[in-house]
Amino acid sequence: MKAVVQRVTEARVEVDGTTMGRCGPGLMILVCAMQGDTEDNADTLAARIAKLRIFRDEDGRMNRSILDSGGAALVVSQFTLAADTSRGNRPGFSAAAPPEDGERLYERFAEALRGQGIAVETGRFGAEMAVHLVNDGPVTIPIER
């Protein structure tokens, strides 16, 4: 699985003008299941992100995790993280998991984060979504399984 993790002061995702999910201070996580990914990959990625030390401590250093900071997460599916641009100007997405696997693993990832004790909201898998966020820092980190 692939993810792009952004530390945010706030984030929300809308479908057809309706807010589907939101979070205050915490993480905006774009996630993509890849061909061959399993539930173990989703669980491992969630555990890694839950422990990722990108929040400021009392000295202003990135030394705290979302678990330490008490933040929330907004998780949005984004198959375009699987983009392959090595053969021209039009990206290919064949490395992404098929939609039925992608949705199952996306939901598993969100549940695994909840299982870590993090408040999680989500977008709608496969929908056209508008994502709004205020990146804090900015801090943006790509992570693979």
Supply 38's token pair. 């399993």
- What average pLDDT score do residues 56-75 get? 97
Instruction: Give the integer Cα–Cα distance in Å for 60 and 71.
Output: 17
For the chain, percent of residues with pLDDT exceeding 70: 100
Q: Which residues are catalytic?
A: 78-80
pLDDT at site 145: 77
- Count other Cβ atoms within 10 Å, centred on residue 25: 17
pTM: 0.96
pLDDT band at 19, cuts 50/70/90?
A: very high
Instruction: Give the integer Cα–Cα distance in Å for 48 and 52.
Output: 6
Domain boundaries, the chain: 2-144
In CATH, what class is 2-144?
Answer: alpha beta
pLDDT tens, 92-127? 999 999 999 999 999 999 999 999 999 999 999 999
pLDDT at site 61: 96
Residue 14 has pLDDT above 90, yes or no: yes
Largest Cα–Cα distance of the chain, in whole Å? 47
**Residues contacting 53, CB < 8 A, separation 6+:** 62, 63, 64, 65, 68
- What is the sign of the dihedral through the CA atoms of 4, 83, 32 and 95? negative
- Count other Cβ atoms within 10 Å, centred on residue 78: 20
